[in-house]
Amino acid sequence: MTTTLDTEHDVTPADDAEIVPLTVDVTNEKTEYPYILRRVDPRRLRAVGNSREIGDIRTERPDLIESIAANGMDPKASLIMTVPDPTDGVVGVIAGFNRHAAAVEVRKLENPDLLIDIVVHEPGTTRADILVAQSNENGHRKDFTEFEQAGIYEELSLFGLDAETIARRVTHSVERVEAGLKVAASPRTRAASAAMPDTDILLMSALADITDEADHAELVEVLNTNPRNFQWRLRQKLVAQNQRIKQAEEAQRLQENGVAVVDDRDLPDTAESVDELCGADDLTPLDPDQHATCPGHAVAIEVDSDLDVELTEYCLDYAAFGHRTIAQVKIEAARAELQAAGVRQVASDDATAVTLRGLLADESAEHHLSDDEHADCPGHAAYVEDVLVYDKAKVVFVCTDYAAHGHLLREGFKSEATRSREWKAAENKRAAANNKLWKKAKTDRRKWLEKTCFKGWRSRDEKSLPARLQNWLALAEVQASHYLAEAAPMHSYACTLLGLDQSKGNIRSEYPIAVHLRKRTTSAAQAAHIRLAMVLAACESHFNAGYTSTADGSWRKPSEDTRFYFEVLAFLGYPAEHIEKVVLDPDLDIERWPHLAPGWVPGAKAA
């Protein structure tokens, strides 16, 4: 930058009683810009148009006040950049606002005679030029935040500059400029960025894609409390948002074609899916194309995480429109068979009935009573469940007065009243819904383990380990011992989490985990992460078995190992879904499934 000393302008400080603005002759074509104007009273400069607010400079920058009071302003390192206003010639600050504010304060108290040197730029310098100058200067300051930089990007865009042009002018990456513009354009994200000004602008810009207010607030909380989980939670929210958008688009398409769209989570009791219905005369399932003309025809929409659409067709009042459920037909057939065989039938909620599976013939019996063994008992009876089990009608044989007929109750069975048929129907619905949620949560949980929990584990030090982690790892030897035994010695899924090769052969010392732990370069933090992976992976691998994908083997009847696993996940900050929280607190399901509440009666709603 070429500078010249201009001595033609009046730089004599004005009297303290009346601060006269400093002006220069903007019509003087002989003046060479930029130039240094020396010995200026800082109070005579116009300080407006700053991209960031300055409050109490003494409080905010006591270091700057102290430095200027003691040494003045170093003309080589701290020149204030200014530009004359072309309308009135008053010199205004365009960069160095904090230094200017500090100089004014020092002039008031510590050094009433303080004069400074300023750099004067050419009159007519545009606001965009000023913003660029401020950006370049502010970028070197430790206290300049990403949020403030986003404000500069936004104001530059108002001059018609696109992201690429702005990036080129302020010498920042296009990606950061685009992120800043996105933050500035979203009121919610802008407010969050102002509250967390030091958060990386790229992270904040991701928030701007979230349209739901509750989701946005939840993600802000994650950024505040557990930023490691932010990217994971963000992906989940974006997927859910895209699912909602896709579902709305599909609903609009169907409605435009005259199809009623329903929410399958809030169907009337008279509704049933078309593939579960048959005609009045036989078990042949209804043809969906033929049912499309039925007055009760409706469609529910489900969109999966890959945005694939699944349509389920319903009849909203199947009985009124001449249909029957296939289950109803099979259940009626089973009851007819019992009647033909002469078996007395009782209600499924008969308080006197105890299933034969819970009874022994006498003290010497080694197995429960069978249907044939009990057939001649005066208390012999049966009922048919109101829902199909594995697509078949389930017949339950009972004794209506086991004590009077000399039977014994097996250990673990209670002679309490049988659950009502309404309770059983509600519980079957809960099992179907929660099993579906469990399957989805299991997929998402493994993505979190692989992409978040153990990402970059090799480079982490001991400070990155959660407090009391070793306590949990030691406890795993007791409370997760069954699952650890299942996974040992190959620990295949642990190798996946750690990015190691899979174990092969039978020589345990050659398994990848053993090889890695024997390295002299393995740190204590790495060893802890490996052990953590072995514990978590052993527990998670248990859910690969077929029987653990159902209710009884997972969320509804969790083993001690399973409960311990979800305790550890909670300790690590895993953002559990509702169905996973139910493992540790079954009462959480009462709100969604009111039949679980103590004292529930058919027809009661959740509190």
pLDDT value of position 258: 93
pTM: 0.60
pLDDT value of position 302: 92
Strands (DSSP E) along 318-361, which ranges?
A: 324-325, 354-355, 359-360
Q: Supply the DSSP symbol for 503.
A: P
Residue 259 and residue 192 share a domain: no
CB 467 within 8 A of CB 572: no
State pLDDT tens for residues 525-558. Answer: 999 999 999 999 999 999 987 666 554 558 888 8
Task: Return the structure tokens found at 363.
Answer: 């003290």
Is 9 inside any structural domain?
no
Is 18 inside any structural domain?
no
State the total domains in the chain. Answer: 4
Query: In the predicted model, what is the mean pLDDT of the chain?
Result: 86
- For 555, the domain range is 426-596
Domain boundary among 392, 418, 444: 418
| Helix, strand, coil abundance in the chain, percent, nearest 5 | 45, 10, 40
Residue 401 and residue 291 share a domain: no
Considering only residues 478 and 224, tell me which one the structure prediction assigns the higher pLDDT: 478
Residue 485 and residue 362 share a domain: no
Domain boundary among 287, 322, 357: 322
Is 13 inside any structural domain?
no
Residue 573 and residue 592 share a domain: yes
Residue 329 and residue 183 share a domain: no
pLDDT value of position 1: 33
Is 133 inside any structural domain?
yes
With cut-offs at 50, 70 and 90, classify the pLDDT of residue 4: very low
Domain boundary among 322, 357, 385: 322
The CATH number of the domain holding residue 197 is 1.10.10.2830
Helices (H), 11-145: 57-60, 62-71, 97-108, 127-138
CB 242 within 8 A of CB 307: yes
Residue 576 and residue 474 share a domain: yes
Residue 342 and residue 315 share a domain: no
State pLDDT tens for residues 470-487. Answer: 999 999 999 999 999 999
- What secondary structure does DSSP assign to 234-253, as a single string? HHHHHHHHHHHHHHHHHHHH
Residue 74 and residue 159 share a domain: yes
pLDDT value of position 474: 96
Is 17 inside any structural domain?
no
Distance CA 604, CA 540 (A): 37
What is the separation of C-alpha 321 from the centre of its chain, rounded to a whole number of angstroms? Answer: 44
Residue 536 and residue 472 share a domain: yes
Indicate the residue type of 426: A
Interacting residues of 224 by C-beta distance below 8 A, sequence separation 6+: 196
Is 51 inside any structural domain?
yes
Interacting residues of 120 by C-beta distance below 8 A, sequence separation 6+: 6, 24, 33, 34, 35, 36, 37, 82, 83, 84, 91
Residue 78 and residue 191 share a domain: yes
Residue 505 and residue 488 share a domain: yes
State pLDDT tens for residues 503-515. Answer: 999 899 999 999 9
The pLDDT of residue 566 is above 90: yes
Residue 341 and residue 279 share a domain: no
pLDDT value of position 417: 47
The pLDDT of residue 132 is above 50: yes
* 107-110: long-range contacts, CB 8 A cutoff, minimum separation 24: 107/41, 107/42, 107/43, 110/65, 110/69
